[in-house]
Amino acid sequence: MYSVTVTSDTAENQVSDTLPEQAEEHLKWAVRYWDEHRGHRAMPARGDVDPMDFPRLLPTTYLLERTPNDNFIVRVAGTRFREVYGREVTGEKISEFIPSDSGRDFHHDVELCCKHIGPVFRDGRANWRPSGVATRFQRVMLPLGDRDSFVDHLLGFAIFFDEDGVPEI
């Protein structure tokens, strides 16, 4: 069994044994995939995850690798993130393009995922696009690690919604 930490822009963190009902179906699938691949461990290892298992989600998938000083480097960032950030972020440190002040929710979710060694789900809004228009998104962050008590990678999936609330996938 695992616990999901549910975060949002408007409410306190909640811990549950499932994603909320409003979670987009692809994110629910991602958590089931993570759970199946961890077996009886706290989390699956990086080598247990095969991106070819989720080709449709690759544009909105990211993989972060933890550094010795607890920063994270983007090892994989789907093409959707290039659109969102206006440049390629693969190979960059998270701290270089997500400032701790304006990106505090992201940094908070990273911390929760590493501390609780379980999925972190967020339903929120952000102003990533050059137009400055707030975009609704849902994200699930999943811990990966060879040892049950130390997260060395984070696997993330994001779903972006258009103005009418339709998932862009």
Give the residue with greater pLDDT, 133 vs 130: 133
Domains defined along the chain, listed by start: 4-160 (3.30.450.20)
Q: What is the pLDDT of residue 17?
A: 74
Q: How confident is the model at residue 129 (pLDDT cuts 50, 70, 90)?
A: low
C-alpha distance from residue 161 to each of 105, 136, 164 (Å)? 18, 6, 8
> DSSP 3-state helix, strand, coil percentages of the chain (rounded to 5)?
30, 30, 40
Nearest of 147, 152, 153 to residue 63 by alpha carbon: 153
| In contact, 159 and 169? CB cutoff 8 Å | yes
Question: What is the rounded average pLDDT for all residues in the chain?
Answer: 89
The span from the CA of 98 to the CA of 136, in Å, is 17
Given a cut of 70, whether residue 30 has pLDDT beyond it is: yes
Cα 39 versus chain centre, distance: 20
Q: What is the pLDDT of residue 130?
A: 59
Q: What percent of the chain has pLDDT over 70?
A: 91
